[in-house]
Amino acid sequence: MKKIGILTSGGDAPGMNAAIRSVVRCASCADIDSYGIECGYSGMLDGNIFRIDNRFVSDTIQKGGTILKTARCPEFKEKEYRQKAYENLLAFGIEGLVVIGGDGSFRGMLEFYKDCGLPCVGIPGTIDNDIGYTDFTLGFDTAVNTVLGAVNNVRDTMTAHNRACIIEVMGRKCGDIAVYAGVAGGAEIILIPEIPFKIEDVVKTIKYDRIKGKQSVIIMLAEGVCSCSELKEQLLEKIDGIQIRTVKLGYIQRGGTPSMSDRIFASRCGARAVELLSSDKCGCRVIGTKNNEIIDLNAEEALAIPNEFDKELYRIATMLSK
Ligand code: ADP
Ligand code: F6P
């Protein structure tokens, strides 16, 4: 392998730059030239491909977002467009591809591999932590820490006014950001798509918290359940005497400097990606982490693994919020 392409796709995640940097520098150590592909699969379709070297990735490990830009590219779901993308890679002599993105990006990568057989490796980059085969995805740790900073601030002012606050966090259909930030931030209530809830129970908990002497209530709401304004409306129909405020954290939780964990994870994933592409039997593989070890799996098998919700952590959360 002499030339590899690297792209970031889907929602950006803190640590993507650290992963790009690791791939480029580990590739350079293996005498492999790196090519950046701008804006995910769109850049592959448009031939937006350029040589990147060790200096291109200088001063990037601490930066959020992605220096290669990212995009969603619906055309890539169609075979004829993927063929065009393949021809563009061939024109640059690219023999292997690193895709840094989420579940959707990996499905695109797998389809692409099935079409053309170009060796591909996926690094899981999404704040959502919604990929079943890996314990964690790149960006999740940073996003949760960002949410925690917000929870601390919100808590101060809610306590000062004896209020309740609904904090809406991202995650698509996955409740992990809400559960981890809820446990670590001491939320009284955590609402996630994986666990259906009754509005009456939420009301009961808020009222009971007041009786127990709690001076503020933090309701951590995953966006996959409903919006914070919808939940507030539902609560106000059944509760009075308690002021409820809402905060939608939005893109604040997707940007920002990556945490130590995400930088190390990214660095290790990049090294593994180059190792895999350098071997003769790479095929299409995805990298992840299990029990603190870096793992790699056949992409098709890995993507068939359902994303399991951490029931035990949720159970602990319900005890800690008393
Ligand atoms: P993420 O990678 O963060 O899950 P998306 O689900 O939006 O983000 O997917 C990112 C991109 O991956 C899509 O815009 C599309 O280009 C590509 N993609 C997703 N699913 C497929 C698929 N089934 N076949 C081909 N490409 C896909
Ligand atoms: O997948 C990452 C994510 O930030 C989700 O948590 C969120 O639902 C979505 O992307 C937002 O996407 P967009 O950038 O299209 O608004």
Q: For the chain, how many structural domains are there in total?
A: 2
Give every CB contact of residue 39 below 8 A, 6+ residues apart in sequence: 46, 48, 68, 69, 70, 71, 73
Q: Judge if 156 and 267 occupy the same domain.
A: no
In a domain, residue 309? The reply is no
For a ligand 2 pocket test, name from 12, 16, 127, 253 the mutation site with the most ligand atoms within 8 angstroms of its C-beta: 127
d(CA 107, CA 300): 9
Residue nearest to atom 1 of ligand 2 (CA): 11
Is the CB of residue 39 less than 8 Å from the CB of residue 284?
A: no
Is the CB of residue 21 less than 8 Å from the CB of residue 8?
A: no
Q: Judge if 210 and 264 occupy the same domain.
A: no
Q: Please check the confidence at residue 18 and state whether its pLDDT lies above 90.
A: yes
Whether the CB of 151 sits within 6 Å of ligand 2 = no
Query: Any idea which of 52-61, 205-214, 286-295 has the lowest mean pLDDT?
Result: 205-214
Q: Kindly indicate the confidence band of residue 212, based on its pLDDT and cuts at 50, 70 and 90.
A: confident
Which domain, by its residues, includes 180? 143-255
Residue nearest to atom 4 of ligand 2 (CA): 11
CA 37 to chain centre: 20
In a domain, residue 322? The reply is no
Using alpha carbons, select from 141, 106, 132 the residue that is nearest to residue 308.
132
In a domain, residue 320? The reply is no
Averaged pLDDT score across all residues of the chain: 97
In a domain, residue 318? The reply is no
In a domain, residue 319? The reply is no
Whole-structure pTM value: 0.97
Residue nearest to atom 12 of ligand 2 (CA): 11
Edge to edge, the sheet with strand 244-248 lists: 189-191, 217-222, 164-169, 244-248
pLDDT single digits (tens) 248-294: 999 999 999 999 999 999 999 999 999 999 998 999 999 999 999 99
Q: Judge if 248 and 156 occupy the same domain.
A: yes
pLDDT single digits (tens) 98-155: 999 999 999 999 999 999 999 999 999 999 999 999 999 999 999 999 999 999 999 9
50, β-bridge pairs: 36
pLDDT single digits (tens) 79-101: 999 999 999 999 999 999 999 99
169, β-bridge pairs: 222
More confidently predicted of 24 and 321: 24
Q: Judge if 266 and 299 occupy the same domain.
A: yes
Q: Judge if 122 and 16 occupy the same domain.
A: yes
Whether the CB of 64 sits within 6 Å of ligand 1 = no
Q: β-strands 164-169, 244-248: how paired?
A: parallel
**Degrees, nearest 5: CA angle 134-138-140:** 95
pLDDT for res 209: 82
Q: Judge if 170 and 231 occupy the same domain.
A: yes
Q: Judge if 81 and 212 occupy the same domain.
A: no
Whether the CB of 172 sits within 6 Å of ligand 2 = yes
Catalytic annotation, residues: 128
pLDDT single digits (tens) 22-47: 999 999 999 999 999 999 999 999 99
Residue nearest to atom 10 of ligand 2 (CA): 11
Q: From the alpha carbon of 128, which atom of ligand 2 is closest?
A: 6
Q: Judge if 263 and 221 occupy the same domain.
A: no
In a domain, residue 82? The reply is yes
